[in-house]
Amino acid sequence: MAEYDIGTETGLNNDQIAKSIFNERIDYLLQSKYKDSESIPDADDSICTLSLGATSDSVDTVDIIDSTVGEIIETLTNQIDYVSNTEKFFHSLAMEVFEYGNYYARLATVSTLQTGNVDDNYSQVLPKWEFYTDAQSIAINLMRSSQFTLQVDGVYHSKSTLTAPDPGDNFSQQLLSFDGKKTRKITINFSSGASGFRGVSVLPTDSVWAMQSPLKVVLDGDSFSTGTNPNIGGLSYVPILFSRLNINNYMVSGEGGTGFVNNQDDTKYNYVDRVSDVTSVNPDIVFVSLTVNDNGYESDLPTAIDNWYTTVRTALPNAMIIVLGAQGRTDTSTQTMEQAAITQFESYDDTNLIIVPIVTADDPIISGTGNDGSLADDGNADIYIYSDGTHYNEDGHIFAGNQTYQRVIDALESARR
């Protein structure tokens, strides 16, 4: 979304312009209230026929074979790769696009102190690729062993992770066949990890194009933000939250075990260490998630938060900052941490900052002491917390995404000025 030019003659002073920017972004997010469905629709594998690892003699063409007679019906000869046609594909926000052999692309979304899955300095967390096409048959070229989910016009083909087969080469074609030729939106949600996108193959008479998202959004977070535990592309709490908010162009700077303070004994970058992830892409909205990883660090939180906030606000004076409470189970230590962090953020008296309590809310998202592997019969943790006792299971991510969405909407409505 374009920033207002404070230096132009608008007839408004800077405070009025900032207010206009703020309200414009809130109004955009609040439009999502009028979408039909609250939750993620059921998967429907009838939306297309999907053949994983479709065979071909070339990376540039794919044969469509009539399985009843074993003969080639047609060949998709119009190979459209991302590197040569970046305008035809939309990918979620990234600090950098890394290219690999045969032009596969991975997105750098979080700086890492350890060896990353993109290169030594970066990892890829929950990236997505999206495009529109009028093709009846289309082959999607993914890096072998890529893990992903597929959506057609927003509907999942399956809610289980799909894996691009390894044909023994550097490419793996996934063939989608539809009933008839018409415009469709194709979305590929990768799980966090070393998945890669190359492009598509269609007929010479088919078209492929992209549409851009009006808002750029970054979320700074922990392992909940990366999709732990099932790590199913598109179906963890962050993509569900952003999908419901009509946010398409987002980047997750997330790494397990980290927080504002916690850096796992200097083996990982915490939020302050990697704050440049947030500022470097010049987002319109910054989400930052409080985290159980900072439990017990309450004495260090004010200084760490102040360092993070000062850097972000200096670099992004017009950005909306949305502070999300901690995800996961509700307990006294996490409530203490969350309240300490909220108190620090409230001290800035920043009218472009919105706080969304989670575990300190009157109705926390998760209640009870159990998990799906050890039932305690004292709350919904039995249903939504994974057997590791900390993270969400698959149903938990969907539940938390929807619950967090509603709390964000309530906070936005209260914050409009």
Q: What is the percent of the chain where pLDDT is above 70?
A: 90
User: Buried (b) or exposed (e) across 109-136, using 16+ Cβ within 10 A?
Assistant: bbbbbeebbbeeebbbbbbbbbbbbebb
Residue 389 belongs to domain with CATH number: 3.40.50.1110
271 and 351 share one domain: yes
193 and 218 share one domain: no
Residue 338 lies in a domain: yes
pTM reported for the whole predicted model: 0.92
Domain finish residue from 209, 225, 253: 209
217 and 205 share one domain: no
Counting other chains too, the contacts that 70-75 makes at CB distance below 8 Å and 24 or more residues apart are 74/137, 74/203
Q: What is the pLDDT of residues 53-96, one digit of tens each?
A: 865 545 566 766 555 555 566 788 899 999 999 999 999 999 99
Domain finish residue from 209, 225, 249: 209
What pLDDT sits at residue 8?
43
182 and 231 share one domain: no
Q: Enumerate the β-bridge partners of residue 185.
A: 132
One-letter amino acid at 149 equals: T
20 and 52 share one domain: no
122 and 201 share one domain: yes
Phi, psi of 371 (to 5 degrees): -155, 175
What pLDDT sits at residue 38?
56
Are 292 and 366 within 8 A, CB to CB? no
Q: What is the mean pLDDT of residues 143-147?
A: 91
Q: What is the pLDDT of residues 176-197, one digit of tens each?
A: 999 999 999 999 999 999 899 9
Residue 2 lies in a domain: no
Are 284 and 216 within 8 A, CB to CB? yes
187 and 272 share one domain: no
Q: What is the pLDDT of residues 245-283, one digit of tens each?
A: 999 999 999 999 999 999 999 999 999 999 999 999 999
Residue 8 lies in a domain: no
Residue 6 lies in a domain: no
Q: What is the mean pLDDT of residues 220-226?
A: 97
Strand 71-76, strand 62-66: pairing: antiparallel
- Could you give the C-alpha distances from 190 to 86, 146, 154, 177, 405, in angstroms and in order? 18, 7, 15, 21, 22
Domain finish residue from 163, 178, 209: 209
Give the orientation angle of helix 301-315 with respect to helix 332-346, to 10 degrees. Answer: 40
Looking at per-residue pLDDT, the higher value among 60 and 147 belongs to: 147
Q: What is the pLDDT of residues 111-127, one digit of tens each?
A: 999 889 998 899 999 99
Are 88 and 131 within 8 A, CB to CB? yes
Q: What is the pLDDT of residues 296-343, one digit of tens each?
A: 999 999 999 999 999 999 999 999 999 999 999 999 999 999 999 999
200 and 230 share one domain: no
Residue 251, helix vs strand vs coil: strand
Residue 349 has pLDDT above 90, yes or no: yes
Q: What is the mean pLDDT of residues 369-398?
A: 97
Q: What is the mean pLDDT of residues 211-216?
A: 86
What pLDDT sits at residue 42?
80
Residue 3 has pLDDT above 50, yes or no: no
Does residue 405 come out as left (phi exceeding 0), alpha (psi in the -120 to 50 range) or beta? Answer: alpha
Are 348 and 307 within 8 A, CB to CB? no
One-letter amino acid at 163 equals: T
Residue 1 lies in a domain: no
Please report which confidence band the pLDDT of residue 9 belongs to, taking 50, 70 and 90 as the band edges.
very low
**Count of domains observed in the chain:** 2
Q: 7 is written with which tokens?
A: 């230096």
Residue 86 lies in a domain: yes
280 and 353 share one domain: yes
164 and 22 share one domain: no
Other Cβ atoms less than 10 A from the Cβ of 61: the count is 15
DSSP structure string for 16-39: HHHHHHHHHHHHHHHGGGGSS-SS
240 and 363 share one domain: yes
What pLDDT sits at residue 59?
53
120 and 91 share one domain: yes
Residue 4 lies in a domain: no
DSSP structure string for 95-143: SEEEEEGGGEEEEE-EE-SS--SSSSSEE--S-EEEEEE--SEEEEEE-
Residue 103, helix vs strand vs coil: helix
d(CA 105, CA 174): 16
* Domain region containing 260: 14-34+213-415
Residue 68 belongs to domain with CATH number: 2.60.120.260
| Stretch among 63-77, 125-139, 157-171, 290-304 having the lowest mean pLDDT | 63-77
Q: Which of 158, 25, 123, 140 is nearest to 89 (CA)?
A: 140
- What's the N-to-C CA distance of the chain in angstroms? 19
What pLDDT sits at residue 242?
95
Q: Which of 335, 378, 332 is nearest to 358 (CA)?
A: 335
Residue 5 lies in a domain: no
Residue 282 DSSP label: -
Q: What is the mean pLDDT of residues 397-409?
A: 96
